[in-house]
């Protein structure tokens, strides 16, 4: 038995110890063999030898447990030393990330309107003809649809061309008053220096009882918003046309590159167009079943804002994922 005790104590790893344990305690192990021999002994001897065997069994078991514990601790220690890392070590790959300029600009826009108590609404990117066009006073074959050619699916479904359909969805699902914005992706068949097939807009809509909402309210909120985004600038409202608003306006800010003196970016006009807006057209209210209400709406392109704020000349570069551009926004 001394041999086995020594073997246990001298084992150097868990595998070896396990082999020894099986040899002692296994079905055909030495203890099992010793216990088998009991039946050959006389009745006086049997209890004495059995007791000794049991004591031996307990002792060996105890030794194995203690050794196992010791070897496990040793193995863990070795593992820790092997895997040791130095967190203070310099790594050339330790690059800090940043929000994409479009996301960052979107966040700033949303932040402003949240502070003015507007809710955030969302709508599907795959829209139907009714929400994207019809309910917005853009009937089939209306020439204004030409400006918003898009990608079509079966059954009059299409990739939405603007975030304006979310106005319709919000009005159909809620009672007035409404004060919402809707940020999101939109799609058009366009691709050049200032157009990509996918871009982002933020839509705004405010509806309340008749006579409660005026063009002056619209001018106040948009002018305040544009100063929040661009700082100290001049703002002008230029009469325009959108099928879903009447009257409609486009909003210009004084060119932030030349301070209104005239340069290449503003085509020497001193002004940059930044959004469209107007008083909600009665036909839109009719389409959603609203009566005795008034409201204003506006829509803007997020990429255009991002390009102006960060002075990025080519819109397409925003979607190329080129780290040399993106690294500049860290
Ligand atoms: N939906 C328009 C577009 O994509 C933008 C727009 C203009 C939205 C005027 C409006 C608005 O709500 O009143 O060009």
With a 6 A CB cut-off, is 299 part of the ligand 1 pocket?
yes
pLDDT in tens, 106-148: 999 999 999 999 999 999 999 999 999 999 999 988 887 877 7
Q: Is the pLDDT of residue 329 over 90?
A: no
d(CA 169, CA 301): 20
Name the residue of 242, 273, 282 whose CB sits within 8 Å of the most ligand 1 atoms, as the mutation to test its pocket.
242
Distance 153 CA to ligand 1 centre (A): 23
Consecutive H or E run containing 109: helix 101-115
User: How far apart are the CA of 301 and the centre of ligand 1, in A?
Assistant: 9
Going by their DSSP bridges, the two strands 198-209 and 293-301 should be labelled as antiparallel
Per-residue pLDDT tens digits for 93-109:
767 788 999 999 999 99
Q: Is the CB of 162 under 6 A from ligand 1?
A: yes
CB atoms < 10 A from the CB of 249, how many? 23
Q: Are 317 and 225 in contact (CB under 8 A)?
A: no
Cα of 125 to ligand 1 centre, how many Å?
16
CA 276 to ligand 1 center in whole angstroms: 5
Kindly state if the Cβ of 296 falls inside 6 Å of ligand 1.
no
Ligand 1 centroid from CA 133, angstroms: 12
Options 3.30.420.40, 3.30.930.10, 3.50.50.60, 3.40.190.10; CATH for 101-329 is 3.30.930.10
| Residues 183-188, mean pLDDT to the nearest whole number | 96
Q: Show me where the domains of the chain are located.
A: 2-83, 101-329
**DSSP label at 87?**
T
- 186 versus 42: the higher-pLDDT residue is 186
pLDDT digits (tens, 9 = 90+) for 211-268: 999 999 999 999 999 999 999 999 999 999 999 999 999 999 999 989 999 998 889 9
pTM, to two decimals: 0.72
According to the model, what pLDDT value does residue 190 have? 84
Q: Which residue's CA is minimally distant from atom 2 of ligand 1?
A: 299
Residue 91 backbone dihedrals phi, psi, to 5 degrees: -125, 130
Query: ∠ CA(258), CA(317), CA(196), 5° rounding?
Result: 95
Nearest CA to ligand 1 atom 7: 276
What secondary structure letter does DSSP report for 135? G
pLDDT band at 275 (very low <50, low <70, confident <90, very high): very high
Tell me, using a 6 A CB cutoff, whether residue 203 lines ligand 1: yes
Residues 6+ away with beta carbon under 8 Å from 233? 226, 227, 253, 254, 256
Phi, psi of 120 (to 5 degrees): -105, 120
CB 278 within 8 A of CB 290: no
Query: Dihedrals φ, ψ of 49, to 5°?
Result: -65, -40
The pLDDT mean for the chain works out to: 92
Q: What percent of the chain has pLDDT over 90?
A: 66
H or E stretch including 247?
A: strand 245-254
């Amino acid at each position: 038995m001394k041999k086995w005790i020594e073997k246990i104590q001298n084992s150097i790893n868990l595998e070896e110890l396990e082999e020894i344990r099986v040899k002692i305690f296994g079905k055909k192990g030495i203890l099992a063999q010793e216990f088998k021999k009991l039946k050959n002994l006389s009745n006086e001897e049997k209890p004495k030898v059995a007791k000794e065997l049991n004591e031996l069994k307990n002792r060996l078991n105890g030794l194995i447990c203690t050794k196992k514990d010791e070897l496990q601790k040793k193995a863990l220690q070795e593992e820790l030393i092997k895997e040791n890392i130095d967190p203070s070590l310099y790594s050339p790959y330790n690059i800090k990330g940043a929000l994409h300029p479009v996301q960052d600009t979107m966040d700033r826009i949303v932040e402003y309107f949240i502070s003015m108590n507007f809710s955030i609404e969302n709508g599907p990117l795959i829209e139907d003809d009714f929400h994207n066009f019809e309910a917005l006073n853009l009937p089939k074959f209306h020439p204004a649809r030409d400006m918003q050619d898009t990608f079509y699916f079966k059954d009059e479904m299409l990739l939405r061309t603007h975030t304006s359909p979310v106005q319709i969805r919000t009005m159909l699902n809620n009672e007035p008053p409404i004060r919402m914005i809707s940020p999101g992706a939109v799609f058009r068949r366009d691709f050049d220096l200032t157009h990509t097939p996918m871009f982002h807009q933020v839509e705004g809509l405010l509806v309340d009882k008749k006579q409660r909402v005026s063009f002056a309210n619209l001018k106040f909120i948009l002018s305040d918003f544009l100063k929040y985004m661009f700082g100290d600038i001049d703002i002008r409202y230029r009469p325009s046309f959108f099928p879903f608003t009447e009257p409609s306006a486009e909003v210009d800010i004084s060119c932030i590159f030349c301070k209104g003196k005239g340069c290449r970016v503003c085509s020497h006009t001193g002004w940059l167009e930044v959004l469209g807006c107007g008083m909600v057209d009665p036909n839109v209210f009719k389409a959603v079943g609203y009566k005795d209400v008034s409201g204003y709406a506006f829509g803007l392109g997020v990429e255009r804002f991002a390009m102006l704020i960060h002075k990025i000349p080519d819109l397409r570069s925003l979607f190329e994922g080129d780290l040399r551009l993106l690294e500049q926004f860290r």
